[in-house]
Amino acid sequence: MLPFIIRPAELKDLSEIQAIYNPEVQHGFSTWNEQPFDLAHFENMLIQLKAQNFPFFVIEDTKKQKVAGYADYSSFRSFTGYRHTVEHSIYVSPEYTGQGLGKLLLQSLIDYAKQHNVHVMVAGIDHENLVSIYLHEKLGFKHTGYMPEVGKKFGKWRDLVLMQLRFEE
């Protein structure tokens, strides 16, 4: 058995997903959200993503039976003209960074998108997250925008790097 498997998120995973996400809210720049989410938020997220046939994957450490990271995508914007464009999120527990799990999760999202009529995947990345920018480049994403000082966290203005992967029709 492989040490990691990627599978759809389940209710039983949500407290571990919350434990990965909320420290990033409180201490990091991968999300510019400034308020931790309660378990009900993640329960609603799971329901909403399933209802829209969007992916919500976890990567599980099969030896420890522990969620090591998660990934999802959802609508880029709510207008119907954007229905073939999605924006994704990937979070890996600090315990598991540097092991290629982000790449495995992103590749799983890409594969899912190819099978589900997605034309463009968008990534919005903090300008200092060079590891994420490099990962996206490695998997074919192109830089499409740079938005200086569009966010603020911990009293510091943040720049946003926009990248996208366009699937051939």
Residues 6 or more apart in contact with residue 19 via CB below 8 angstroms: 93
Q: State residue 169's pLDDT score.
A: 63
- Structural domains in the chain (count): 1
Q: Which tokens is 135 given?
A: 């990962």
Q: What are the two backbone dihedrals, phi and then psi, of residue 166, each rounded to the nearest 5 degrees?
A: -105, 130
Look at the alpha carbons of 30, 31, 37, 42 in this order and tell me if their dihedral is positive or negative: negative
> Cα separations (Å) of 50 from 22, 46, 128, 147?
22, 6, 32, 31
Query: Range with the lowest mean pLDDT among 1-5, 53-57, 98-102?
Result: 1-5
Asked if the model's pLDDT at residue 155 lies above 80, the reply is yes
34-90 pLDDT, tens digit per residue, is 999 999 999 999 999 999 999 999 999 999 999 999 999 999 999 999 999 999 999
Cβ pair 53, 72 in contact under 8 A: no
Cβ pair 133, 141 in contact under 8 A: no
Model confidence at 168, pLDDT cuts 50, 70, 90, reads confident
133-151 pLDDT, tens digit per residue, is 999 999 999 999 999 999 9
CATH number at residue 17: 3.40.630.30
Per the structure, the complete domain to which residue 88 belongs is given by 4-166
Asked if the model's pLDDT at residue 1 lies above 70, the reply is no
Cβ pair 136, 163 in contact under 8 A: yes
Please give the mean pLDDT across all residues of the chain.
96
